Amino acid sequence: MNDVGTGGAGTPRVAVVVFPGSNCDEDAALASRNVLGADVKMVRHDERALGDPDLVILPGGFSYGDYLRSGAMARFSPVMESVAAFAGQGGAVLGICNGFQILCEAGLLPGAMLRNEGLRFVCKDVFLRVESKRTPFTLAINKGDVLRMPIAHGDGNWTAERRAYEEMLARDQVVFRYVRADGSRGHGANPNGSLDDVAGICNVKGNIVGLMPHPERAAEDLLGNTDGARLFKSFATTRMAMHGA
Partner 1 sequence: MTVLVRVMLKAGVLDPQGKAIAEALRRLGYAAVSDVRAGKLFCIEVDTADPKAAREVASQMAEKLLANPVIEDYELHLEEAGTPPGSLR
Sheet holding 13-18, edge to edge: 39-44, 13-18, 55-58, 92-96, 208-211, 198-202, 174-179, 122-130, 146-153
Least Cβ distance, residue 184 to partner 1 (angstroms): 24
**Which residues in 211-230 contact partner 1 (CB under 8 A)?**
none
Q: Which of 24, 45, 97, 202 is catalytic?
A: 97
Is 116 a binding residue for partner 1 by CB under 8 A? The answer is yes
Active site residue 216: yes
* Total binding residues toward partner 1, as defined by CB under 8 A: 21
Candidates 12, 61, 91, 111: give the one binding partner 1 (CB under 8 A): 111
Instruction: Give the x-and-dash track for 43-72 against partner 1 (CB under 8 A).
Output: -------------------------xx--x
Phi then psi for residue 150, to 5 deg, are -80, 150
d(CA 26, CA 24): 6
Is 85 a binding residue for partner 1 by CB under 8 A? The answer is no
Active site residue 214: yes
Least Cβ distance, residue 245 to partner 1 (angstroms): 40
Contact between 16 and 44 (Cβ < 8 Å): no
Choose the stretch contacting partner 1; rule: CB under 8 A; options: 24-32, 106-114, 128-136, 141-149: 106-114
Least Cβ distance, residue 228 to partner 1 (angstroms): 28
Alpha-carbon torsion, ordered 214, 58, 84, 4, to 10 deg: -100
Q: Which residues of 13-41 are buried (b: 16+ CB within 10 A; e: fewer)?
A: bbbbbbbebbbbbebbbbbbeebbebbbb
Handedness of CA 151, 155, 157, 162 (dihedral sign): negative
Nearer to partner 1, 99 or 215 (CB): 99
**Number of C-alpha atoms within 13 angstroms, CB side, residue 122?**
23
Instruction: Give the x-and-dash track for 126-165 against partner 1 (CB under 8 A).
Output: -------------------------------x-xxx--x-
Is 122 a binding residue for partner 1 by CB under 8 A? The answer is no
Nearer to partner 1, 27 or 105 (CB): 105
d(CA 56, CA 16): 6
Residues in the chain: 245
d(CA 119, CA 21): 22
**Measured in Å, how far apart are the chain's first and last C-alpha atoms?**
14
Least Cβ distance, residue 164 to partner 1 (angstroms): 8
Active site residue 161: no
The residues binding partner 1 (CB under 8 A) are: 68-69, 72, 76, 104-105, 110-112, 114-119, 157, 159-161, 164, 193
Residues acting as catalytic residues: 97, 214, 216
